Structures are given as C-alpha cells and as structure tokens.
Amino acid sequence: MRKAFAIIIEFYQKWISPAFGPRCKYYPSCSTYATNAVSEYGAKGLTMAAWRLVRCNPWSHGGVDYVLSKSSKQPIKTGAN
Amino acid sequence: MGSILNPLYFAVSWVIVTFHSLLGYIFGENESESIKWSLSIIGLVILIRIILIPLFVKQIKSQRALTALQPHMKEIQKKHKDDRQKQSEEMMKLYKEHKTNPLASCFPILAQAPIFFALFTVLNGIARNTPHGVLKGDLLLSAQEAKFFGANLSSTFLSSDTNTQTKLVIVALIIFMSATTFTTQRQLMVKGMPKMDSSNNMMLQQQKIMLYVFPVIFAVSGVNFPVGVLIYWSTTNLWTFGQQFYVIKRNPTPGSPAYEELMKKRTVKDKDNGALPTTNEDGTTQTDPGVEQSKPQQRQQPSKGSKKKKKK
C-alpha cells in the first residue's frame, strides 16, 4: 500500500508536476512530504499530507517543513532536493 | 458522494441557467438555443477565472516584492553553492521571514477541479436525461438539443450515437487544448522564468512532457468527456494563455528574460525623457516605479499577520 502510494507520487513528480513548474510554497514540496509522511506513519501520514496540501494555499507564507521521524523526532530529509 | 456534491451541482447548473436566461435578452427568447447554451458554459469559465484574479494579482505582487530580496537570494546561492537542499531551505526561510512567497501553491488548480467535475456530471445528466440542480424540465430538454458547431453539448466521442461532425469538433477541440497548453508553457519557460543554471535538464524534461504527454492526456480524456466539458477546458486554457501573456508583457518576474526586456525598454524611455536611471552593482535598475509601490504594501503585511494571531 505504502509502496503503491510512493509509485503514484513518483509518477506525479516525474511526469505531471514539471509541466506546471515549481509552485509549492513549502520545502520540501507537498509531494515529497506526502511520500515521507506515508512511509513513516501509514494512514495517518495520508491525513498529514492532505493537511499539508491545505496549508499550502495562497494566503500562506510557506516555509521549511519536514516530516519528523517517529522514533527520533528528527526531520526526514530523504527525497528532498 | 453525490449528496456531498449536490451544492456544487446546484451552483454550476444555476450559473449556466442564469447565463442562459440572460443571453435570452440578447438573442431572443426562442432563438439560437445552441449559441446560448455554448456561451453559458464559456460564461461559467469567465466567472470562475474572474473570481480567481485576486489570487493571481496577489501572487504577482509577491513576485515583485522579490526584487527587494534579490541581494539576499544571491548571497544564499553563493553560500550554499554545492548544497541544493540547504539552498532551498534558506530560500524558503527568507520568503517566510519577509512574509512574501512568489510560489502559487496548488490551490488555483485544485479549486477548479470540483467545478470541473460538477460540470462533467451536469452535462452527462443532460445526455442521460437526469436533472441536476436547477437544470431540469423544459431547460433540460432545450439543453439536450443544444449544439456547438453541430456537435451536441452532451455527447462524447465514444458514445455510440455520435456522428462524424461531432467527432470532428471533438478532435478540433483536443488539438486546440493541446496547442494552447503548449504555447502557454513554452512562453513561460522561454520568457517568464528566472534563469537558473542547474535547471537545464528539468527544462528539457518539461519540453518533452508538453510535446508528448499533454496531447495524450487531452486525447485520452477528451474522447471520454462531453463536448461541453471540452468547451470549458478550451476556454480556461485560452484564458490562462491570455492572462500569462499580459503578465509577461507588463509584470514579468524579476530575473526573467521578459523582465530584462521590459527594463531595457524603460531605460530607453527614461533616457529619452532626460532622466538617467541609477544602476545598482548587481545590475538591477531602480527606475521601476513598481518597486517603490511594493514597499508600503510589504509594510502592511505584518499587520495582517498580527490580526490572524489575535483570532487564534
């Protein structure tokens, strides 16, 4: 399930997102955040990803926002570039 | 699912029906039903895009405010030359600190998705004789007869009763959608984006995607969508193109080729007027009145933020 989600996001990042140009107000982007959140937290990560997408709106100022690791509470930096 | 979207079906059908009856005053009550229904869909697009204009203006303003941040940005790029992650992090921090963010977020696209879906359902309802919202009774019957260049608004390429005329119209619309998307993206890439050194690969990738993937997406979805939805899609693409064309000409992103062109034009103008522009060390000219205008706007923003805090 988590793998399938990662594949969908990867497809989006490779084929769909470039066509719209960079547009995410956060770093890492919502899609990278979603992959990390789901691989770390599963279903709860899905909610986290949805909430991040809501937070990334025209009235937000964005910023740096990593998914925190379950165990160490350290930011997960994989996949971000 | 249907019940959650009922208000949306109502809103979309109401807008279309209202435009239809307003157009009745222009074209006459019983005349040219086809034109009225087609224009009603176009009216829906125009209404939505007008509602979205303030968001667009807001984004343009924060892009302009970037001019003031350019020295900081250059510093960051220099400092973290070999660490793209750190570079992006610092850039985002800078935007947040100055309460300005040039990026648009996915909202403008996502906000249109439910409307698009609702329109899809409403138009399919016309074909299946299922009323949605206020599009029912005589109006439904009238909409069933409506044609766009001889193609029924509710028929799709793949439905069995579709004639050749309709198929030709659908193919034309798919080609039109692909062409507008391609030109819009190409214009943005060539003229509208700041030059970046490490993004050549990404650019090539983008061009490939636009050339091959978009026509495929439009073709695959286009044969399944009713003609009315394709009219909506084509109009919104055309609007995006026009909007971007205007912005690139009049309000280009700082650092982009279009911006440099505009600056050159303005410099020439100022020289003609006898006033010499002052050029900074980093090559930015300070003759742009917009830079001055953007300063008080920036100052207002912290007060907005403090209001938000009070609410919490």
ipTM reported for the complex, 2 dp: 0.82
Roughly what angle, to the nearest 10 degrees, separates helices B107-127 and B227-250?
150
The single-letter DSSP state of residue A74 is P
Contact B96 A61 (CB under 8 A): yes
Interface test with chain B among A12, A53, A56, by most B beta carbons within 10 Å: A56
Q: What is the mean pLDDT of residues B142-164?
A: 85
In a domain, A26, yes or no: yes
Q: Does B188 touch chain A (CB under 8 A)?
A: yes
What pLDDT, in 10s, does the model give residues A16-37? Answer: 787 777 789 998 999 999 999 9
Q: Identify the domain containing residue A12 by its residue range.
A: 2-64
Gap from A5 CA to chain B (nearest CA, Å): 19
Q: Count of domains in chain A?
A: 1
Q: Judged by CB atoms within 8 Å, which residues 37-76 of A form the interface with B?
A: 53, 56-58, 60-64
Q: What is the pLDDT of residue B242?
A: 92
pLDDT band per the 50, 70, 90 thresholds, residue A48: very high
pTM recorded for the entire structure: 0.75
Residue A78 lies in a domain: no
| A15, A58, A64: residue with CB nearest B89 | A64
Tens of pLDDT, residues B93-151: 888 888 888 888 888 888 888 888 888 888 888 878 888 888 888 888 888 888 898 88
Mean pLDDT is lowest, of B14-23, B261-270, B294-303, for B294-303
Quickly state the pLDDT bin for B275 (edges 50, 70, 90): low
Q: Cα B193–A19–B166 angle (5° rounding)?
A: 125
